[in-house]
Every structure is written in structure tokens, then in C-alpha cells.
Structure 1
Amino acid sequence: MDEGGNITRRRALLAGGGTLLFGGGVAYAASRSGSNEQAYVPSNFHTSEETTGFGVELAGRPIVGEPDAPVDVYYWTDYLCPFCKEFETETLPEIGTDYVETGDVRVVFLSYPNIGEYSLPAAVWSRCVWDKVADSEPAAYWHWHESAFDAQSESGHDWADEETFARITEETENVDRSAVENCRENRGDAVRESIDADLETGRSAGLQGTPGFVLYNREADVAGKMVGAHPYENFANAIEKIRDA
């Protein structure tokens, strides 16, 4: 079955909507040595309790962009994933400027822990940070998120541990480490269940790793899938195809 086939099956189960297929293949962009790109810090955040037409649960997930943006980009990520860091630094800033800030796209950040032993604990840290700042200081989450990717080592996964994520949380302005620790201790099971739901939705869409994306036109009920750290031009073309479907 071709790369879009799994989405066709998922869409049929949910709403019977149409599917727009992008060019096949998995793309991973090579690092640009000396790149001056900065991580994207969005200006618009919101929370939602809805489940989208594609079946993505939004409660507790970081969301950037306008609530009524016509195109959703569901982004499955892992803090231990080097290609996710590539996307965050090389591609997401341009998507943010050209599509999120203009009201055309909202991005929903979903967990897909699959790289190493600390992938799941890192996802729990992230979800608990968002839980504590979403209503009062949502930009603080983004600075935490950026710092977590900045900590990523080129030498493997051993950098990711309790000490590292505790330090990042402690050092991020407007993030209360004690409140985050309380969330991890008292809501950890519920948070892990929400991460399992992210994994299940991603796998149902045919994703097998990170970064993975589903682009969904909410009004037309049309979706397409991308896998890997594609360059900005590929994302721009895919967004416009979905938006104009």
C-alpha cells in the first residue's frame, strides 16, 4: 500500500472524508553547518478540549496559531530525535512566519516517544510544563521546549535524564519546577495515557517514527501525510495543496 493508504483507512473510519496524497518517500534534511536559524517562538497559543475531525485529541496538547485556522498540522515529535531538532530550527520558524502568524495554520504538538529510554519521561515533562503555564504564561512553554532541544547531544541519547530536564525546568523563566514535579508525581498516569493516545493516532495514520506530520483541512475534511525533516519548500507546497483542496 502506498504511503497515503493508511491515512485513507483512518479517514474512512472517522468521517469518510477525502485524502490528498503528497509525494512519497521519507525526507531527512542534512544539517546546515553554522546555520543562524533560531527556534520559533509563536505569538498565538490556545487550549482546546475538542477532538478534531481527524480524531486528534487536543486537551492538554500544546497548540499554536488561531483556533479557526483552516489547516491543522499535527506534529509528532520526540525530544531525543535529531531530525525533530532539525525541523525545529531549519523549517518551523519559516512555517510559523508564513502560515501560523497569518492565521492559515495551527500546529498541534503531539508526542511520539520512540528514540530512547528517556523519550517517554521527556514527553511527560513537556506535557506537565504545558499544563502549568498554558493559561498564564504560554510563551514560557516555548522557551522550555527550545531549551530541551538545545540540550540534545550529538553523541547519543545519554544526555537525556532526570537531572537535565529538572535543570531545564528550573532555569526556564515563569516555569515553576515544583508545580511541574507535582504534575509528574500526581498526574503522571493520566499524562502517559494521553501520550499513548498520541502514539495510537500517529500509528493509525501510518507514522512509524519522528518527526511525523498530518496536514488536515478541517472544512474540506481532507488530509495528507509527511514524514521526516522536509525542507520548508516541501511543507509550503503541502500546506497550500491542503488549504486549497
Structure 2
Amino acid sequence: MSTSHKTTSTRLWVMPTLIVLGAVIALVAVFFWGRSTATTEADSQPPAAQQETEEAETVPPEIVEQVIRRDAEDPLAVGQTDAPVVMVMFSDYQCPFCGRWTAETLPEMQQFVDAGELRIEFRDVNMYGEDSRRAASASVAAAEQGEFTDYHARLFDGGETLDGFSAEALTDIAAEMGMDTDQFQADMDSEKTAEIVQTNEQLGQELGATSTPSFIINDTPVVGAQPADVFIDAVEEALANTQE
């Protein structure tokens, strides 16, 4: 694939037509905003109670079409583009709950990814500001060298967010992983990366996904670092629905 074709394909999905969503986006914002308080209260409940709390409404199909991309050029995704179930994760690299989910639940989801049943698309909302935005840019740069999954996990440092996201610290991690640091820095500062980061951030804000982590699994929203069983059940239910 030529560089010009790849750039054109990337721009097709990094410039979503958010203007046409209007009132429909507001409906999904209600799902996320309204459920964030319930999720906070559910953190102190046993897993069964949390799962009941997170029994979610269905996201309108107009929103699903905008949120789930299935684009082969999406650098922040794992799994086959034609997987029957797609999970979109809205997160922030400075969010400890996102780190916990990445350490404890993401490995459980990998079984579905490996089986070709699940695709996971990551969207950084950068609600904590410039450090989060810089880390999101670094994850895109790592993805350009085929190292997104491992770099993504390293930024969460095994479930605990790193203390600093300076450009130097982020580049040092890339160097430790054996990446081309000159290319890494160039990609981190590129216009293409800036567009990807800005578009994902804007989408999360428009949808009201300011409580991280927040998820959409096919057409079902889930808020919070719920136990792995909640996500396993949601994926299995979505798989069953696609076979009906």
C-alpha cells in the first residue's frame, strides 16, 4: 500500500461526521453521564450487584455506526475488522481504573480476539489534560511501529499509571522496547497523529464518555472497570445475538 493511499484512508476515519449526530449523540451522553454515578456506587458492591447495576440500555444504531469503525488503517485497534463483536474503550492513560482494567480484564478479552470473535478499538479521551494527550500521541507512534499493544500496557505500568508522561520518558520506554526512537519522535509529533488524538478525544467528549473507562460493546454501553466476568458475559451475549 502506498503512503499516499494509507494517509487518505486514515483521514477518512479520523474526520468523523459528528455534526450530523445531533440529538442522537445526546441520548448516548445520557447513557454515560447517567451511569457514571451508579458505577461509582457499584464499586463497593459485590460482582453480582455490579453486574446488575451495569445492565445497560441499547445504543441507537446511528451512534454505533459512528463509534465502531472497523477500519484496517486504525492504529489503535486489535482484532479482525470483520469480528462479529466490537468493543470500543474510552480511556485515559492517567486513569487508575483504566490501568486496572488493562491489567486484569484485557488479558481475559484476548481469548475472544485470538478466536476472531472480538475486535477492540481504543479511544483516548485525555480528560486529565496535556500529559494524557502526550501519552495518547505516544501510543499512536508506537502503533506505527507495530508495538501498540505492548506499549499501551507499559504506559499503565501493570495496572498503576506512570508518574510522568514527559516526551523524554515516553521516548525512553520506546527505546527500552527496541523501537526506532527517531521515527517514534517524528510520528509522535506528526500532524497525522495529532488528528487521530484530537478526533478520538472529541468523539469521547461528544458522547459524554468522561467517566473512564467507558465502553460500547456492539450496541451496549458499560461504564467502569467492572469485573472481567461482566465483560465476558457481555461479549458472549453479543456473540449469541449475532447468530440469531
TM-score by length of 1: 0.68
The 8 Å contact of residues 152 and 159 in structure 1, kept in 2 or not, is answered as: no
What displacement does 1:169 show? 1.0
Q: Secondary structure at the match of 2:193?
A: helix
Say whether the 8 Å CA contact 1:71–1:215 is kept in structure 2.
Answer: yes
Superposed displacement of residue 89, structure 1? 0.8
Structure 1 residues 68, 11: closer, same or farther in 2, change over 3 A? farther
Deviations 1:177-199 (CA, angstroms, capped at 9, x unpaired): 110111233x1x33222222112
Cα deviations across residues 196-223 of structure 1 (Å, max 9, x unaligned)?
211232234331132111111xxxxxx1
Q: SS state of the match for residue 107, structure 1?
A: strand
Aligned residue in 1 for 2:128: 115
1:129 maps to which residue?
Answer: 142
Q: Residue 65 of structure 1 contacts residue 103 of structure 1 at CA under 8 Å; is this kept in 2? A: yes
Q: Which runs of 5+ in 2 are unaligned?
A: 1-20, 45-63
List structure 1 runs of 4+ shifted beyond 4 angstroms: 27-30, 151-154
Please tell me the residue identity of whatever aligns with 1:92: L
Please, which runs of 5 or more residues in structure 1 have no aligned partner? Answer: 1-5, 14-19, 31-51, 217-222
Q: TM-score, normalised by structure 2?
A: 0.68
2:208 is matched with: 206
Q: What is the CA distance between 1:230 and its match in structure 2?
A: 0.8
**Is the alpha carbon distance of 1:12 and 1:228 closer, same or farther for their aligned partners in structure 2, counting shifts above 3 Å?**
closer
State the superposition RMSD in angstroms: 3.3
CA contact (8 A) 2:92 2:124 kept: yes
Partner of 1:215: 217
Residues 123-169 of structure 1 show CA distances to partners (whole Å, capped at 9, x for unaligned) of 111111212x2xxxx3x332222222118867xx7522222112101
What is the DSSP-based 3-state SS (H/G/I as helix, E as strand, rest coil) of the residue aligned with 1:80? coil
More helix by proportion, 1 or 2? 2
Q: 1:29 to 1:145 in 2, by over 3 A?
A: farther
> 2:174 matched to which residue of 1?
169
Shift of the 73–160 alpha-carbon distance from structure 1 to 2, 3 Å rule, reads same
Aligned to 1:141: 148
Match of 1:53 among 65, 69, 74: 65
Q: 2:187 aligns with which of 162, 183, 188?
A: 183
Shift of 1:112: 1.4
**Mapping of residues 39-118 of structure 1, within 5 Å:** 53-57=65-69, 58=71, 59-97=73-111, 99-118=112-131
Number of residues of Structure 1 aligned to a counterpart in Structure 2: 194
Residue pair 1:80, 1:160 contacting (<8 A) in 2 also: no
Distance 2:159 2:106 in 1: 17
Cα pair distance change 1:67/1:11, threshold 3 Å: farther
CA distance in 1, matches of 2:140, 2:200: 12
- Equivalent position of 2:7 in the other structure: none
The aligned counterpart of 2:220 is: 224
